[in-house]
Amino acid sequence: MKIFVAGLPYDLDDAELEEIFEKFGKVDSAKVAMDKMTGKSRGFGFVEMPIEEEAKDAIENLNDISLGKKPLVVKAAEERQPGTGSSNFNRRPGGFQQDRGPRRF
């Protein structure tokens, strides 16, 4: 089961995130989301646990606890729908259009 975790302290790394969830069972992976430009944590991550009951136990026990200044939000990750990325390409009819002023022919 894939788990979404938000409200992480910005100095928390993958190994520490995995350690938190290992108390509830086997962890296949734990990944803190990093900003591509700055290389710093974005304050959320994902954990994969193979045994659903252990994952649900982790969600129930870790949701709304505080690791830092903010309470954690821990829930089952929602599957990403195709085409829901952050690109601005298709936000305007006809695709991306850069405003260059009047056209000259």
Backbone phi, then psi, for 22, in 5-degree steps? -65, -20
Angstrom distances, CA of residue 38 to CA of 4, 11, 34, 35, 85: 22, 13, 8, 6, 20
| Closest alpha carbon to 63 in 53, 76, 50, 54 | 76
2-76 folds as: Alpha-Beta Plaits (3.30.70)
80 falls in which pLDDT band (50, 70, 90)?
confident
Q: Provide mean pLDDT across the span 44-52.
A: 98
CA 12 to chain centre: 14
| Model pLDDT for residues 2-14, shown as the tens digit of each residue | 999 999 999 999 9
User: Considering the chain, what percentage of its residues have pLDDT values greater than 90?
Assistant: 69
68 falls in which pLDDT band (50, 70, 90)?
confident
